[in-house]
């Protein structure tokens, strides 16, 4: 059923195309007889060369199938078979093409020649597409080559489409199974390519630059672990001996080196003639420490062998042919050693392999010789051929190229790791764009694993193959956003959740705040001083405290509705006494009493506000005791001072009476003091009556202020 | 009564800018003096003046040494002053006097919580709950302690107990939602946040948390709605605006995200988060130079913004500055951005 569908598709495509092939016949070119003749001549010449080339090509193909039991899977497998004849055919055919660009068969030949020399070139596609437009049936394998050309240009869907058309054709014709297998493999490769290219690996691919690369083929890089030295193969016009290879007309290979200085690659140079001979000398590998270089040479008899060169000083010694455990009469190439130099991995196409080229390994024996080679096994090697083995210095990761596994075309690079049990993991395709439908080989990875080096003929280079560096970027990196939440409601301030005990009910008196500032009377500077508070009703000292040393401030809370005596004392100063009532009032009131203390100086006068007498008498009341004690202490602390005790009355009563009363009261105080041990010689009693009021006598408050006992410093 | 008090003397003295101690003589009864001082201490505590509160409670205790309430409240004042040892001593003394007060145990638990003494905290809270199983706050803090000990299931149990004791306990719903969110139960978290908001819709941080739960559940439309509600209720709450930008970013609405971050920057030009998030947008747009410059601004405004170093590392890698990117990722890792480790391993020497 499938075959039928493809056949119908094939026929439909051919049938629906409007264009027709134009044969080189006079009816198609009226009036251009001579030109037609010349074109036909060129065409005949071209066809002759082409057919010869095609015969060589087909012979090679048959031989390949005979040897490997499958068709060439890479365009390079054809090794440019028939190339010389195709090259000779190209010019006359192009002349004919100029005259008649619409001949299907001619376009087919040109497409084929382009494919053999440069399969991914757009010219290849152009000629093959023209064939399909003109006459798809003229050369049915045109679909195959067109599909492969699309394949090599990453046009996966178109490639699959035409591969399937061709598959239907060959199945209908009953072609041999190798062809069917080949087309199916290529369809599978396209599907892999389609899948992997849809999820490209994130890499930077950077050309190593013009100091390393040239317009000639530069390929096969080996790198030291520190990425400071790259050794590679090139086929340049300065090749040692200056000879060209007959097979492809390219210069013989030589080994080149470039060193990195200050992060920049220096101009690449040829290794000396110790290493480079007149023939092919290719870099096949480098030991991780850069001390041993493995060189591939092909003498024509040995199928290509491996040599080992040792770095001696600044130069490489002449390469030594590796022993028979490594080299055979077959092709040996590509070497990599383990990080400790005890195991050698290499590639050989000897008969004992699993297919085309395989990877082998050899362990160094006790004598320091490489032992018998062993095939690395079917987990790695396939029937399609492996190449370019590279063992990473980590000792477990191997990179190699294979045309088998899930390649997307030709050689792809794969990675496998060595498990502790000695088994290799299933190889993983390194993905697109590291790999593509073309051959991807000679891939070496830096010691850090973050970069790799390889060769490619991709566009944008300096010509043919160039060396490139891959920087692995890893998976797509999702940017990190800043955002925040308050996930826990109370975490920020748990103390605020503490359970506070409630207020208690207190039955308390109304209070008054008494506050004030104690200063020096002259300087107004704040003074620290002792303050004594007396309940005059009870005649008891209820508090002693100090004013603030810095500010002179004091503050007390007192029950209201009482009479208090306040005494402020400081050494070197006369004490200050106050007598005051705190009247009943609001629940809370403030009362300010600033005090200016006077220094003990002659003439200083202090009112003794807390000396009380019985009404109209000179009898000192008991509540005067505290004030008098302060006075006694002052006299005792200052034994040289002499004072006058003066008593004053208000204006009520006669002057004579008041004078007498005041005299009596001052004498009472002096007598009290003498009775307490103060020398009489230090005391003078003086009654002033109402002669020296300090306030008005028209008010109760004024009269109260005028009724007073003072003392004055007479001597000091 | 007044007459009986007239015979009493009460004096207390204190100095403005007090630096001297005053001995108070009184002939008030000690209990009355203590109660008065206690109330004054309480008033000071409520006015956030724990120093005065401690003084007043101390006076109260001088007059009435077995005054358990004064001890309990002085403990609180000490806690505010970060004098935790003194606080615990007072609490223990209060418990000796009155061992049946669950609140005292609760306070003890919280003081241990404050000082990160988890075992002691648990014992105290357990006592509290033993005396009063319906003590919602004690259950709440048990939940919180388990949450912070990475025991989400136990946390949920206690938060649920708190909710049972007090069905209007908004914070318990919020916290339980956050625990559910941490377990990946976004639907459960959303239900609890919404319940909390049904009790008190004015709490913008819960609207914000709800938005984040929706965001984690990849319901960006609802997330944007919730963040918008938080921001509308309090336009100064830039957290919601920035988070809304993040939700817009994650739903690939980069234009709206950019507007949110830029609006937030207009209100707070020093907001490191906004600069970093603008860097994320630039990375998405593959504008690596802008991403680098925005991340730099984020770092300039907050040198501990690990995400900014992380993002700048990405930008620098894409600008081929390998050394710079690796230095940034290493710095991000030191600032707790664990995901930087993979980058360092894969891309740095």
Which residues are A478's β-sheet partners? Answer: none
Q: Could you report the per-residue pLDDT of A203-245, keeping only the tens digit for each? A: 998 999 999 999 999 999 998 878 889 999 999 999 998 989 8
The whole-chain average pLDDT of chain A stands at 87
Residue A508: closest C-alpha in chain B: B5
Least confident of A18-27, A38-47, B269-278, B298-307: A18-27
Per the model's pLDDT, the better-predicted residue between B242 and A637 turns out to be B242
Among A198, A227, A258, the domain-final residue is: A198
Q: How many domains does chain A have?
A: 4
Residue-level pLDDT at A506:
60
> Reduced to 3 states, what is the DSSP secondary structure of residue A101?
coil
Query: So what's the pLDDT on residue A3?
Result: 45
Instruction: Pick the more confident residue, A311 or B13.
Output: A311
Chains A–B, number of C-beta pairs less than 8 Å apart: 221
| Residues A531 and A561 occupy one common structural domain | yes
Region A689-708: what's the mean pLDDT? Answer: 87
Lowest model confidence (mean pLDDT) among A88-97, A251-260, A593-602: A593-602
In this predicted model, what pLDDT tens digit does every residue of A667-679 receive, in sequence order?
999 999 999 999 9
B209–A473 C-beta distance less than 8 A? no
Residue A242 domain-assigned? yes
Cis peptide before A433 (omega within 30 of 0): yes
Q: Which of A480, A500, A505 sits opposite B337 (nearest CB)?
A: A480
Residue A512 belongs to a domain with what CATH number?
2.60.40.2190
Alpha-carbon gap, residue B223 to B256, rounded angstroms: 14
Place of tokens 């991340």: B295
C-alpha span between A529 and A518 (Å, rounded) = 7
Whether the pLDDT of residue A455 is over 80: the answer is yes
Q: Closest Cα of chain B to A597: distance in Å?
A: 19
- Using alpha carbons, list the distances in angstroms from residue A700 to A641, A652, B325: 35, 11, 93
Pair (A301, A366) in one structural domain: yes
Query: Closest Cα of chain B to A224: distance in Å?
Result: 15
Angle of CA points A120, A122, A125, to nearest 5°: 85
Q: What is the DSSP string of A152-167?
A: HTT-HHHHHHHHHHHH
Q: Are B195 and B171 in contact (CB under 8 A)?
A: no
Distance from the Cα of A256 to chain B's closest Cα (Å) equals 27
- Residue A130 confidence (pLDDT): 92
Domain with residue A659: its CATH number is 3.30.1330.60
Q: What is the mean pLDDT of chain B?
A: 89
Residue A61 lies in a domain: yes
- Partners of A582 in beta bridges: A562
Cβ distance of B348 and A450 shorter than 8 Å: yes
3-class DSSP assignment, residue B318: helix
- Running DSSP on this structure, what letter comes out for residue A65? H
Nearest to A481 among B147, B239, B280 (CB): B280
Tell me, yes or no, whether A409 lies in a domain: yes
Confidence (pLDDT) at B9 = 35
What is the per-residue burial (b if ≥16 Cβ within 10 Å, else e) of A461-483?
bbebbbbbbbbbbeeebebbbbb
Check CB contact under 8 Å for B242 and A483: yes
Residue B161 has pLDDT above 90, yes or no: yes
- Containing structural domain, residue A36: 2-198
What's the pLDDT score for residue A652?
A: 85
Residues A272 and A407 in one domain: yes
Per-residue pLDDT, A96: 96
pLDDT tier at A511, thresholds 50, 70, 90: low
Question: What average pLDDT does the segment A406-423 reach?
Answer: 93
Which of A580, A599, A618 terminates a domain? The answer is: A599
Express each pLDDT in A457-504 by its tens digit.
Answer: 777 789 888 999 998 887 788 999 999 888 888 765 667 777 888 887
Task: State yes or no: pLDDT of A580 exceeds 90.
Answer: no
Q: What is the mean pLDDT of residues B210-236?
A: 97
**Residue A13 confidence (pLDDT):** 44
Identify the pLDDT of residue A492. Answer: 54
Mean pLDDT of A90-118: 93
A515 with A576, same domain: the answer is: yes
- What are the C-alpha distances in Å from B296 to residues A540, B274, B281, B301, B343? 76, 12, 14, 9, 19
Instruction: Dihedral sign for Cα A320, A326, A332, A337, please.
Output: negative
CA distance A50 to chain B (A): 50
Whether residue B25 is predicted with pLDDT greater than 70 in this model: the reply is no
Higher pLDDT: B171 or A122? It is B171
* A167 and A221 part of one domain: no
Helices (H), A30-136: 33-68, 83-99, 104-117, 122-135
Q: Which of A194-203, A577-586, B161-170 has the lowest mean pLDDT?
A: A577-586
pLDDT bin (cut points 50, 70, 90) of residue B289 is very high
Q: What is the pLDDT of residue A300?
A: 67
- Site from A415, A470, A485 to mutate, B interface, most B CB atoms within 10 angstroms: A485
Strand partners, A658: none
Q: Is the pLDDT of residue A166 over 80?
A: yes
pLDDT tens for A314-361 read 889 999 999 999 999 999 989 999 888 899 999 999 888 888 899 999
CATH number at residue A392: 2.120.10.30
Which of A489, A503, A545 is facing B39, going by the closest CB pair? A503
Confidence check: pLDDT of B19 > 50: no
d(CA A332, CA A538): 125
**A204: contact with B, CB 8 A cutoff:** yes
Residue A16 has pLDDT above 50, yes or no: no
In a domain, A487, yes or no: no
The answer to whether the CB atoms of A504 and B39 lie below 8 A apart is yes
Q: Is the pLDDT of residue A303 over 60?
A: yes
Could you give phi then psi for residue A375, rounded to 5 degrees? -70, 135
Q: Domains in chain B, start-ordered, CATH in brackets?
A: 10-98 (1.25.40.10), 102-197 (1.25.40.10)
A69: left (phi over 0), alpha (psi -120 to 50) or beta: left
With b for 16 or more beta-carbon neighbours within 10 A and e for fewer, the B67-88 pattern comes to bbbbbbbbbbbbbbeebbebbb
**Residue B46 to residue B53: CA distance in whole angstroms:** 9
Q: What is the CATH number of the domain that holds A145?
A: 1.25.40.10
Kindly state whether residues A164 and A136 are assigned to the same domain.
yes
| Whether residues A591 and A641 fall in one domain | no
Mutate to test the interface with A, among B25, B54, B80 (most CBs of A within 10 A): B25
Residue percentage of chain B with pLDDT more than 90: 79
Select from A479, A531, A566, A590 the residue whose CB has the most chain B CBs within 10 Å, as the one to mutate to test that interface: A479
Mutation target for A interface from B3, B7, B22, B279: give the one with most A CBs within 10 A.
B22
Q: Please indicate, yes or no, whether residues A236 and A372 belong to a single structural domain of this protein.
A: yes
Contact assignment for A479 to B32 by CB distance below 8 Å? no
* Range with lowest mean pLDDT among A270-279, A318-327, B17-26: B17-26
């Amino acid at each position: 059923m499938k075959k039928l569908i493809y056949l119908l598709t094939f026929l439909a495509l051919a049938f629906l195309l409007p264009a027709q092939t134009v044969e080189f016949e006079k009816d198609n070119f009226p009036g251009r007889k001579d030109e037609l003749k010349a074109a036909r001549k060129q065409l005949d010449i071209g066809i002759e060369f082409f057919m010869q080339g095609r015969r060589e090509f087909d012979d090679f193909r048959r031989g390949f199938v005979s040897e490997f039991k499958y068709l060439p899977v890479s365009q390079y497998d054809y090794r440019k078979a028939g190339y010389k004849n195709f090259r000779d055919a190209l010019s006359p055919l192009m002349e004919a093409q100029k005259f008649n660009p619409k001949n299907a068969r001619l376009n087919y030949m040109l497409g084929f020649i382009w494919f053999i020399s440069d399969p991914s070139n757009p010219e290849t596609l152009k000629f093959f597409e023209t064939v399909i437009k003109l006459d798809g049936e003229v050369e049915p394998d045109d679909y195959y080559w067109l599909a492969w050309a699309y394949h090599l240009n990453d046009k996966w869907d178109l490639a699959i489409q035409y591969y399937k058309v061709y598959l239907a054709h060959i199945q209908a014709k009953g072609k041999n199974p190798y062809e069917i297998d080949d087309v199916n493999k290529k369809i599978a490769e396209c599907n892999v390519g389609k899948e992997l290219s849809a999820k490209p690996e994130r890499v930077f691919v950077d050309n190593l630059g013009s100091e390393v690369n040239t317009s000639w083929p530069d390929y096969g890089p080996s790198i030291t672990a520190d990425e400071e030295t790259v050794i590679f193969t090139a086929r340049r016009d300065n090749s040692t001996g200056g000879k060209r290879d007959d097979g492809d007309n390219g210069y013989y290979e030589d080994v080149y080196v470039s060193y990195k200085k200050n992060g920049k690659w220096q101009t690449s140079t040829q290794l000396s003639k110790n290493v480079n001979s007149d023939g092919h000398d290719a870099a096949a590998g480098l030991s991780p420490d850069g001390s041993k270089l493995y060189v591939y040479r092909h003498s024509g008899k040995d199928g290509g062998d491996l040599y080992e060169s040792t770095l001696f000083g600044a130069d490489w010694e002449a390469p030594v042919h590796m022993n028979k455990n490594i080299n055979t009469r077959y092709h040996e190439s590509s070497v990599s050693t383990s990080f400790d130099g005890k195991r050698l991995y290499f590639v050989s196409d000897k008969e004992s392999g699993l297919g085309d080229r395989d990877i082998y390994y050899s362990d160094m024996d006790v004598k320091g010789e490489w032992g018998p080679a062993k095939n690395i096994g079917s987990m790695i090697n396939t029937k399609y051929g492996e190449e370019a083995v590279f063992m990473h210095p980590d000792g477990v990761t191997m990179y190699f190229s294979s045309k088998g596994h899930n390649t997307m075309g030709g050689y792809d690079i794969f990675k496998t790791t060595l498990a502790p049990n000695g088994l290799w993991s299933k190889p993983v395709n390194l993905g697109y764009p590291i790999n593509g439908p073309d051959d991807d080989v000679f891939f070496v990875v830096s010691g850090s694993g973050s970069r790799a080096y390889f060769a490619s003929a991709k566009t944008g280079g300096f010509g043919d193959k160039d060396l490139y560096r891959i920087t692995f970027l890893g998976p797509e990196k999702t940017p990190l956003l800043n955002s925040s939440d308050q996930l826990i409601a109370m975490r920020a301030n748990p103390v605020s959740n503490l359970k506070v005990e409630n207020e208690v009910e207190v039955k308390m008196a109304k209070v008054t705040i008494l506050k004030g500032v104690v200063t020096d009377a002259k300087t107004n500077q704040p003074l620290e001083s002792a303050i004594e508070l007396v309940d005059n009703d009870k005649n008891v000292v209820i508090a002693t405290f100090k004013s603030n040393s810095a500010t002179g401030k004091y503050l007390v809370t007192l029950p209201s509705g009482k009479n208090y005596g306040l005494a402020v004392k400081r050494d070197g100063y006369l004490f200050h006494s106050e007598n005051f009532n705190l009247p009943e009032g609001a629940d809370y009131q403030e009362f300010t009493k600033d005090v200016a203390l006077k220094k003990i100086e002659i003439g200083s006068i202090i009112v003794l506000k807390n000396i009380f007498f019985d009404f109209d008498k000179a009898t000192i009341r008991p509540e005067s005791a505290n004030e008098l004690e302060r006075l006694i202490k002052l006299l005792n602390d200052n034994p040289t001072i002499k004072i006058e005790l003066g008593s004053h009355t208000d204006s009520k009563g006669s002057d004579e009476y008041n004078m007498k009363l005041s005299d009596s009261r001052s004498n009472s105080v002096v007598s009290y003091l003498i009775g307490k041990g103060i020398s009489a010689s230090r005391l003078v009693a003086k009654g002033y009556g109402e002669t020296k009021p300090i306030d008005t006598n028209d008010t109760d408050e004024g009269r109260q202020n005028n009724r007073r006992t003072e003392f004055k410093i007479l001597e000091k | 009564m007044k007459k009986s008090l007239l015979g009493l003397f009460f004096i207390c003295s204190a100095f403005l800018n007090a630096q001297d101690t005053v001995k108070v003589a009184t002939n008030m009864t000690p209990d009355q003096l203590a109660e008065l001082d206690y109330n004054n201490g309480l008033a000071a505590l409520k006015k956030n003046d724990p120093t005065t509160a401690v003084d007043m409670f101390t006076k109260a205790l001088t007059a009435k040494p077995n005054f358990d309430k004064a001890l309990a409240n002085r403990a609180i004042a000490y806690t505010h002053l970060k004098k935790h040892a003194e606080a615990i001593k007072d609490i223990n003394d209060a418990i000796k006097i009155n061992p049946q007060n669950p609140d005292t145990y609760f306070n003890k638990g919280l003081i241990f919580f404050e000082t990160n003494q988890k075992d002691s905290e648990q014992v105290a809270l357990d006592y509290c709950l033993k005396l009063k199983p319906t003590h919602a706050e004690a259950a709440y803090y048990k939940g919180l302690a388990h949450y912070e000990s990475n025991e989400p299931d136990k946390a949920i149990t206690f938060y649920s107990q708190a909710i049972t004791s007090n069905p209007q306990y908004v914070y318990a719903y919020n916290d339980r939602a956050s625990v559910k969110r941490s377990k990946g139960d976004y639907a459960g978290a959303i239900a609890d946040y919404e319940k909390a908001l049904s009790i008190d819709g004015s709490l913008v941080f819960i609207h914000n948390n709800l938005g984040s739960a929706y965001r984690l559940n990849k319901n960006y439309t609802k997330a944007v709605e919730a963040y918008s509600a938080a921001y509308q209720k309090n336009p100064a709450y830039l957290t919601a605006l920035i988070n809304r930008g993040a939700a817009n970013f994650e739903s690939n609405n980069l234009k709206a995200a950019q507007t949110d971050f830029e609006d937030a920057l207009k209100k707070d030009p020093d907001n490191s988060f906004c600069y970093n998030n603008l860097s994320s947008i630039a990375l998405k747009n593959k504008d690596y130079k802008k991403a680098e410059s925005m991340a730099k601004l984020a770092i300039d405004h907050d040198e501990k913004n690990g995400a900014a170093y992380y993002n700048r590392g990405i930008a620098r890698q894409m600008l081929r500055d390998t050394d710079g990117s690796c230095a940034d990722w290493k710095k991000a890792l030191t600032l707790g951005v664990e995901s930087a480790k993979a980058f360092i391993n894969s891309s740095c020497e």
